[in-house]
Chain A
Amino acid sequence: MKTVIVRPERCVGCWQCRLACAVEHSRAKNLVGALFEEIKPKPRLRLYPGRLHWAFPNKCRHCDPAPCQAVCIAGAISKDPVRGTTDIDPARCINCAMCAMACPFGVLTYAATFAAPERRAVALKCDQCPDREAAGRLPACVEACKVGALTYGEVEDAQVDKGRALAQAVFASYQAAAEAVPGLPETISLWRKLT
């Protein structure tokens, strides 16, 4: 299973990934069209000013098991058994923010989307660009990243290469911890790795 691997130490904060992500999640899927859409498309990854680095890209790690899925009271979050992604169904999401309460990475945004026009806001996050994947293309953010901060690769490779891919190491440690103890404590070891 392939996933987006984040290497924050390489990020220069150019915001190209955010722009590409917003465009990919517009109805038109191109910049000009996206600019004029009634519901403004939102990027599903964030860039923060980092502590030691210029910027820190933050996005959904598609955890397995996914804490957001366990707390979703609307049955809107599921795991895709083939792609390995954690998916939110905007037609079921009720904007209750239980997922934000559970997400250890703080990656959720609540806003309108053309995919559920009847809802004022729904939970939005990385879906790893399913349309692009189906067409054999890279996720939009990875394609836009010119400095190697966002790459696309096999989960296993990334797990072996923990030192290089900090974010992926976090993801891996989460999985390993989840095997050992369920419930809250598993996240404790996650944070040890984080900091």
Chain B
Amino acid sequence: MRYVIIGTSAAGLAAAETIRQRDRQGGITLISDEPHLPYSRPLLTYLLGREVDAEKIFLKSHDYFDRWGFEPRLGAPVLKVKPESREVHLEGGETVLYDKLLIASGASPRLLGIPGEDLAGVYTLRNLADVENLEKGLPPGGSVAIVGAGAVGLKAAEALIRRGNRVTLLEAESRPLPHLLDQTAAGLLHQVLTSLGVESHFGVRPVGLMEKKGRLNGLLLDNDNTVTADAVIIAVGVRPRNEFLAGTGLDRPEGIPVSPFMETGHRHIFAAGDCACAPHFLTGEPAAYRIWPAAVAQGEIAGANMTGAGRRYDGILPRNSISLKGVKIIAGGLLEPDGKDGEVFNELDRSRGHYRRLVFQNGCLVGVTLAGPKAADAGIYFQIMARKVPVKDLPVDIRSAAFHPGKLWA
């Protein structure tokens, strides 16, 4: 059996290891256009902020591919996939044949589509090469504008403050992490940002990038204000990487459609991770939510199914953990109940920085936000959510201020 995997990151490696555990003999080829050993994308902002050393971002040892019996093809961009002849075409003309193919090609940053995005001084942050470019191009102590107060934008802001840059954060919505946090939690986060020294502007969109001598020197906003900046990082989300799938019908803008078994519409082709469009765990609707844990889980299932396991994926439970300046906010599930049988419970203690918000729908827990020290209990709430059972069946009322894990077990 010849297994071929495009992508050597969270989803691709989880799949490869799962395949190897179930099939000792089969050939497993791992292809990536990046030349590096597998590394952690989420650590890139920590690398930028000099919080972790360069060698710590690598997730696997030097003999990793050998030990697992994988055939790596690093620095080899895939140009085309031909499902009829089961071929993967690499740059330089080489063709790799497969019996089972996994597409785990991740995503790439979206741009704004405004004039000036090709100027020197305009950056995105997704790959190790992007950090290398920033290292080279960022003026020490200079001012940087970050467009987008999502997870990447926020972590980038913290990193740049650590480097001694002045940071202006621009967000089109009215608050940071608008899809994950409510007003109150976002307010707590905003406080942390301010205490870091980040200047934030909400409800504004850049409409153009200004240049001086061929370099970026500022942004023009839709409210006619300008922001001067020596550099700009565009962090407004990602789009699935699927340009090499043109002609297969899989190159959909929302991601590669997959069955609950992570199969695509083509026999023998599977997809997992940021490039795929899996359903939301709670609503069953396509969920454009791209996180490391989901990529690992999908990779494991795709890998197992490529060896014939027949495992089912029940969907992405959107959730994330934001830790800024040591302050932790963990949130996930639905932000608001989506029907009239919904209910939202809040518990706020500003003096202790504690916030707990629970969202219920038809008696089940469907959303949670925890800020402050109690964020460490988040996993318990997500387990309750994953059960999809009415909370009245639990031995304690999870709304009670005295709720803690012991109450569930005793």
Contacts and interface: CB of A to CB of B under 8 A. Distances in A.
B409 A50 contact: yes
B375 A50 contact: no
Contacts of B314: 183-185
Contacts of A98: 292-293, 321
Interface in A150-195: 166-167, 170, 181-185, 187-188, 190-192, 194-195
A39 interface: no
Nearest to B373: A110
A95 interface: yes
B127 to A, nearest CB: 15
Contacts of B321: 96-98, 100-101
A120 interface: yes
A63 B311 CA distance: 21
Interface residues of A, number: 50
A109 interface: yes
Interface stretch (B26-34, B225-233, B379-387): B379-387
B11 to A, nearest CB: 12
Nearest to B40: A73
Contacts of B297: 70, 182-184
Nearest to B402: A49
Interface core residue of B46, B405, B409 (most chain A CB under 10 Å): B409
Contacts of B312: 181, 185
A48 B405 CA distance: 8
Contacts of B326: 95, 110, 120-121
Contact of A105 (B379, B384, B402, B410): B379
B296 A71 contact: yes
B53 to A, nearest CB: 10
A183 B301 contact: yes
Interface in B274-323: 281, 292-293, 296-297, 300-301, 304, 311-315, 317, 319-321, 323
Interface size class of B (residues with CB under 8 A): 35 or more
Interface stretch (A24-32, A51-59, A79-87, A130-138): A51-59
Interface in A23-78: 48-53, 55-56, 58, 67, 70-71, 73-75
A183 B409 CA distance: 23
A102 B292 CA distance: 12
Contact of B40 (A75, A91, A108, A184): A75
Contacts of B405: 48, 56, 58, 105-106
A58 B406 CA distance: 7
B8 to A, nearest CB: 14
A73 B291 CA distance: 10
Given A70-B297, A106-B376, A101 B406 contact: no
Contacts of B93: none
Interface string B312-343: 11110101110100101010100000000000
B379 A50 contact: no
Interface core residue of B292, B378, B395 (most chain A CB under 10 Å): B378
Contacts of A58: 405-406, 409
A131 B408 CA distance: 33
Interface string A109-148: 1100000000011000000000000000000000000000
A100 B38 CA distance: 24
Contacts of A70: 14, 293, 296-297, 300
B210 to A, nearest CB: 35
Contacts of A166: 409
B406 A48 contact: yes
Contacts of B409: 8, 50, 56, 58, 166-167, 170, 194-195
A12 interface: no
B377 A106 contact: yes
Interface of A: 8, 48-53, 55-56, 58, 67, 70-71, 73-75, 91-92, 94-98, 100-106, 108-110, 120-121, 166-167, 170, 181-185, 187-188, 190-192, 194-195
Question: Across chains A and B, which 6 residue pairs bring their CB atoms closest together, nearest first?
Answer: A48-B406, A56-B406, A50-B410, A51-B410, A73-B42, A103-B379
